[in-house]
Structure 1
Amino acid sequence: MARVREFDTDQVLAAAVTTFRQHGFAGTSVQNLVEATGIGRGSLYAAFGDKEGLYLAALDRYRADFAQPLLALLDSEEPPLRLVREILVGLVDEIVQDGTRQACLIVSAATELVARDTAVASRVRETTDLLEETLTTLLRRVDPPLADPRAAARFVITVVQGLRVAGAVRPERGWLMSSVDLAVRALA
């Protein structure tokens, strides 16, 4: 008879996301994951296959958590550039308040694994594509119209990823906000 899972998958994935954000894929051992998630090694392997399987599930979870608030923006009546500014300011606030200098799981996956792991590369690409489509849709509503809303969306993605990296090095609000203000002015 097959055993029934005795753990909350959402809690395990949340703990795995945090652990991978703090240490990266290579810097996270299976023992780190066992300690962070509170489940045994056997349960971890039974549920996710291996460390990479848990990492891929964590990437999916992170993407879902990250994408939901962005997709909700499409329903907002606020001016698109104000929403973009709110996204960037919210990101700066998160970076400054974090205190642990956790990396963005998508950015760290892109820099650490994309070149050598096709499954990770696919998930990072899907996440970036989703963000690009969402922002393009939002930026098509700018009045007067932007010359190239898709290029503008890609610019915002680059700013988001750059803020994540810069914030890990220098999590200072004023320093990061100068980039936010410049980015919003460049879009206007």
Structure 2
Amino acid sequence: MKPNHKGSAQLFKNPVLEKMTRTHIAIPITIFLVIATGLIYYGITHSFISILEAVGFFFLGWFIFTLIEYLAHRYVFHMDTSTPSKARFQYLVHGNHHDYPKDKKRLAMPPVVSILYASAFFFIFKVIFGTFVFGVVAGVLFGYAMYLLVHYVVHAYPPPKNFLKQLWINHSIHHYKDHEKAFGVSSPLWDYILGTMPKRSR
């Protein structure tokens, strides 16, 4: 199937499950931004973190998300599909997007899954960072919201005539030329570091 095919994949025969796989991009972005803001506010007003700590750990969380984004895209979304179950899972979470990249309602996980992600991030990072979790997870979730926003506009709008144009170019290369390059959507940082940045043509 051509990667620029218009339309939408049918993931489930059950109409309820099928409908739950679609969402307007504004819904998960809003969920993550509201939770991130709430975490910062709660952490500061209940004296779990100071304002300076909140700012510092927020940016640390955002930085951590760029690595999570890269690793998830490279090793989960593009996982080995050597068995039928792996192939089915990979198609559900990402393969359908490569077949139908213009399907705007499948550019983000459904809201229920988004909330589960946010909860998992909080409990995992609570073990690692203690009370600083309020800043770290706020940064992680903000990074996720920015990833969703960038991913949406890259697919929905033509590239801008500024420094952000490179994000459009990188993601187009990933979709239409080389699936094993340009795994970073919101940032090319880890593609540079880990050697998966597409080579520029002269």
TM (normalized to structure 1)? 0.35
Question: Which structure has the higher relative contact order (CA within 8 Å, separation 6+)?
Answer: 2
Choose between structure 1 and 2: higher helix proportion.
1
